[in-house]
Amino acid sequence: MDRRDFLKILGVGGAGVGAGIIFGQATKSPGAKLIPYLIPPEDLIPGIGTWYAGVCRECPAGCGTLVKVMEGRAKKIEGNPKHPVNKGRLCAIGQAGLQTLYNPDRIKGPLKRSGERGSGQYTEITWEEALGAISKNLVELGDTKDGQGAYLLTQPLRGSLKGLVTGFMAAYGSSNIVEYSLYDNKALANANRESMGVDAIPYHDIANTNYLLSFGADFSTTWLSPVNLSMGYGEMRQGEGRNARGRLVQVEPRLSATGMSADEWVPAAPGTEGILALSMAYAVIEKGLAKGNDSSAWRSLLSKYRPEAVASVTDVSAEKIYRLAVEFAGNRPSMAIAGDTMASYSGGGACLAAVNVLNHVAGNLGISGGVLANPETAVNGTRPGRLGSLASLIEDASKSKVKALIVYNSNPVFTTPKSIKAKEALGNIPFIASFSSFMDETAVMADIILPSHTAIEDWGDDFPEPGPGIQAAAISQPAVSPVFNTKGVGDIFLAIAKKTGGKTAEKFAWDWYGDYLRDAWKGIYSANKDVAAGSLTFDDFWVKLLANGGWWEAVKDGKKTALSVNLKAAEKLLQNEPCPFDGDPKDFPLYLVLHPHTRLRDGSTANNPWLQEVPDPVTSVVWGSWVEINPATAGRLGIRQGDMAAIESPSGKITLPVYLYEGIRPDTVGIPVGQGHSALGRYAKDRDSNPIDILPAKNDGSTGLSALNSTRVRVSPAGVAGRLAKFEAVGKELGRNIVKTMTPEEFRKTGREAI
Amino acid sequence: MSGITKKIADTLKDFRRPGYYEKFDYRWGMVIDLDKCNGCGACVAACYAENNIPSVGKEECGKARAMNWIRIERYIEGQYPDVKVKFIPIMCQHCSKAPCELGCPVYATYHNQEGLNVQVYNRCVGTFTCATYCPYDVRRFNWFSYKWDKPLDEQLNPDVSVREMGIMEKCSFCIQRIRAAKDKAKDQGRGVADGEVTPACAQSCPTGALTFGDLNDPESRVSRLAKDPRRFRLLEELNTEPAIIYLKKVSDNGTEGHGE
Verify whether the Cβ–Cβ distance A96 to B49 is below 8 Å.
yes
Dihedral of CA A154/A159/A164/A167: which sign?
A: positive
Min mean pLDDT across A17-31, A179-193, B53-67, B233-247 is at A17-31
Positive or negative, the Cα torsion across A401, A404, A406, A411?
positive
Q: How far is A493 from chain B (nearest CA, A)?
A: 28
* Chain A residues within an 8 Å CB radius of B58: 622-624, 723, 725
Query: Taking all residues of chain A, what is their mean pLDDT, rounded to a whole number?
Result: 89
Interface test with B, best of A742, A743, A750, A753 (most B CBs within 10 A): A742
A 101-160 residues with CB < 8 A to B:
101-104
Say whether pLDDT at B1 is over 80.
no
Give the pLDDT confidence score for residue B20 in this predicted structure.
45
Distance CA(B77)–CA(A153), nearest Å, equals 46
Looking from the CA of A79 toward its CB, the CA atoms found within 13 Å total 31
Dump pLDDT digits (tens) for B74-90: 999 999 999 999 999 99
Do B55 and A743 make contact, defined as CB atoms within 8 angstroms? no
The answer to whether A233 contacts B36, with C-beta atoms less than 8 Å apart, is yes
Mean pLDDT of A138-145: 85
pLDDT at A20 over 50: no
pLDDT band (50, 70, 90) for residue A16: very low
Closest CA to A88 of B42, B184, B173: B42
Measure the CA–CA gap between A703 and A390, rounded to whole angstroms: 10
**pLDDT of residue A147 exceeding 90:** no
Better-scored residue on pLDDT, A40 or A258 = A258
User: Which of A261, A682, A738 faces B38 most closely, judged by CB atoms?
Assistant: A261
- B246 CB neighbours in chain A (<8 A) are 739-740
* B253–A483 C-beta distance less than 8 A: no
Q: In B, which residues are within 8 Å of A610 by CB distance?
A: 45, 48-49, 55
Query: How many alpha carbons lie under 13 Å from residue A19 in its C-beta half-sphere?
Result: 27
Q: Find the closest chain A residue to B209 by CA distance.
A: A234
Contact by Cβ (8 Å): A425, A416 = no
Residue A691: is its pLDDT beyond 90? yes
Nearest to A276 by CA among A346, A344, A336: A336
Probe site for chain A from B38, B153, B235, B240 (most A CB atoms < 10 A): B38
Chain B residues in contact with A320 by the CB 8 A cut-off are none
- Tell me whether A79 touches chain B (CB under 8 Å): yes
Q: Choose, out of A224, A607, A613, A727, the residue to mutate when testing the contact with B (most B CBs < 10 Å).
A: A613
> Cβ atoms within 10 A of the Cβ of A485, count?
13
pLDDT of residue A15: 42
A90 with B46: Cβ contact below 8 A: yes
Cross-chain Cβ contact B35/A611 below 8 Å: no
Contact A724, A626 (CB under 8 A): yes
Asked which of A20-34, A376-390, A587-601, B143-157 is least confident by mean pLDDT, the reply is: A20-34
At residue A554, the pLDDT reads 64
Residue A158 per-residue DSSP state = -
Q: Is the dihedral of CA A101, A105, A108, A110 positive or negative?
A: negative
- pLDDT band for A4, please (50, 70, 90 cuts): low
Q: What is the pLDDT of residue A29?
A: 52
Q: Is A201 on the interface with B (CB under 8 A)?
A: no
Tell me which residue of A711, A670, A671, A669 sits closest to A585, measured CA to CA: A711
- Cβ atoms within 10 Å, residue A562: 9
* Residues in chain A closer than 8 A to B76 (CB atoms): 661-663, 731-732
Q: Which of A92, A104, A623 sits opposite B41 (nearest CB)?
A: A92
Set of chain B residues whose Cβ sits within 8 Å of the Cβ of A226: 40, 206
For helices A348-361 and A295-302, angle between their N-to-C axes, nearest 10 degrees? 140
Q: Does pLDDT of B168 surpass 80?
A: yes
Which one of B50, B57, B207 has the shortest CB-CB distance to A230? B207
- Report percent pLDDT > 90 for chain B: 78
Within 25-64 of A, beta carbons closer than 8 Å to B belong to 47
> Which of A63, A68, A103, A238 to substitute to test the interface with B, most B CBs within 10 Å?
A238
Q: How far is CA A391 from CA A315, A397, A421, A425, A596, in A?
A: 35, 10, 10, 11, 21
pLDDT at A376 over 60: yes
Q: B33–A88: do the CB atoms touch at under 8 Å?
A: no
What residues does A593 pair with on adjacent strands?
A: A670
Q: Judge residue A50's burial from the number of C-beta atoms within 10 Å of its C-beta, 0-12 exposed, 13-18 middle, 19 or more buried.
A: buried
C-alpha distance from B191 to closest chain A C-alpha (Å): 21
- What residues of chain A lie within 8 A of the CB of B74, using their CB? 260, 617-618, 620, 728, 731
Looking at the complex, report in whole angstroms how far the Cα of residue B8 sits from the nearest Cα belonging to chain A: 35
Cβ neighbors of A280 (< 8 A, separation 6 or more) are A307, A321, A324, A325, A328, A358
Long-range contacts of A509-515 (CB under 8 A, 24+ apart): A511/A28, A512/A24, A512/A27, A512/A28, A512/A488, A513/A164, A513/A458, A513/A459, A513/A488, A513/A489, A514/A24, A514/A459
Nearest to A742 among B155, B209, B256 (CB): B256
Measured between CA atoms, the residue of chain B closest to residue A748 is B250
Neighbours of B62 (CB within 10 A): 17
Across chain B, mean pLDDT equals 90
What pLDDT does residue A13 have?
A: 41
The answer to whether residues A436 and A409 touch, using CB atoms and an 8 Å cutoff, is yes
φ, ψ for residue A340, nearest 5 deg: -65, -35
* Residue contact B76–A732, C-beta within 8 A: yes
d(CA A475, CA A514): 11
Residue A662 has pLDDT above 50, yes or no: yes
- Do B259 and A737 lie within an 8 Å CB cutoff? no
Question: Closest partner residue to A237 among B36, B56, B205, by Cβ?
Answer: B36
Q: Omega before B81 cis (within 30°)?
A: yes
**Residue A360 CA, distance from chain mean position:** 26
Chain B neighbors of A220, CB-CB under 8 A: 38-40, 206
Is pLDDT larger for residue A78 or for residue B254? Answer: A78
Report CA-CA distances (Å) from A390 to A176, A425, A442, B181. Answer: 11, 11, 13, 52
Whole-angstrom distance, CA of residue A342 vs CA of residue A349: 8
How would residue A126 be classed by pLDDT, with cut points 50, 70 and 90? very high
**In A, residues 665-704, which contact B (CB 8 Å cutoff)?**
665-666, 682
- How far is Cα A522 from Cα A508, in angstroms, rounded to an integer? 16
Backbone angles phi, psi at A161, to 5 degrees: -65, -40
Model confidence over B119-140: pLDDT tens digits?
999 999 999 999 999 999 999 9
Query: How many of the other CB atoms lie within 10 Å of CB of A635?
Result: 12
Query: Chain A: nearest CA to B183, how far in angstroms?
Result: 13
Q: Does A475 score more than 50 pLDDT?
A: yes
**Chain A CB contacts of B205 below 8 Å:** 89
The pLDDT > 90 percentage for chain A reads 71
Please tell me which residue of chain B has the smallest CA distance to A76: B49
**What single DSSP character describes residue A739?**
S
Given a cut of 90, is residue A107 above it in pLDDT? yes
**What is the sign of the dihedral through the CA atoms of B94, B99, B104 and B105?**
positive
CB of A635 within 8 Å of any CB in chain B?
no
Smallest Cα distance from B3 to chain A, Å: 43
Measured between alpha carbons, how far is A569 from A626 in angstroms, rounded to an integer? Answer: 41
What is the pLDDT confidence band of residue A613, given thresholds at 50, 70 and 90? very high
Q: What is the pLDDT of residue A19?
A: 45
Peptide bond into A466 cis (omega under 30): yes
What angle, rounded to 10 degrees, do the helices at A318-330 and A273-286 form? 70
Is residue A383's pLDDT more than 80? no
State the ipTM, two decimals. 0.91
Q: Is the pLDDT of residue A7 over 60?
A: no
Q: Which of B157, B159, B256 faces A740 most closely, judged by CB atoms?
A: B256
**pLDDT tier at A555, thresholds 50, 70, 90:** low
Confidence of residue B199 (pLDDT cuts 50, 70, 90): very high
Biggest distance spanned by C-alpha atoms of chain A: 80
CA A223 to CA A213: how far, in whole Å? 15
Counting one residue from chain A and one from chain B, the pairs whose CB atoms sit within 8 A come to 268
Share of chain B above pLDDT 70, in %: 92
**pLDDT at residue A517 is higher than 70:** yes
* Whole-number pLDDT of residue A384: 60
pLDDT value at A71 more than 60: yes
pLDDT in tens, A282-340: 999 999 999 988 889 999 999 999 999 999 999 999 999 999 999 999 999 999 999 99
Residue with the bigger pLDDT between A53 and A471: it is A53
Average pLDDT over residues A405-419: 94
Of chain A, the percentage scoring pLDDT greater than 70 comes to: 92
- pLDDT at position A558, please? 43
Q: Which of A455, A431, A291, A461 is nearest to A362 (CA)?
A: A291
In this prediction, residue A374 carries a pLDDT of: 84
Instruction: Note the pLDDT tens digit of each residue in A164-199.
Output: 999 999 999 999 999 999 988 888 988 999 899 888
Mutate to test the interface with B, among A261, A263, A605 (most CBs of B within 10 A): A261
Minimum distance, in Å, between the CA of residue A615 and any CA atom of chain B: 8
Lowest mean pLDDT among A42-46, A162-166, A563-567: A42-46
Testing the interface with B: which of A741, A747, A748 to mutate, by most B Cβ within 10 A?
A: A741
Q: CB–CB of A513/A494 below 8 Å?
A: yes
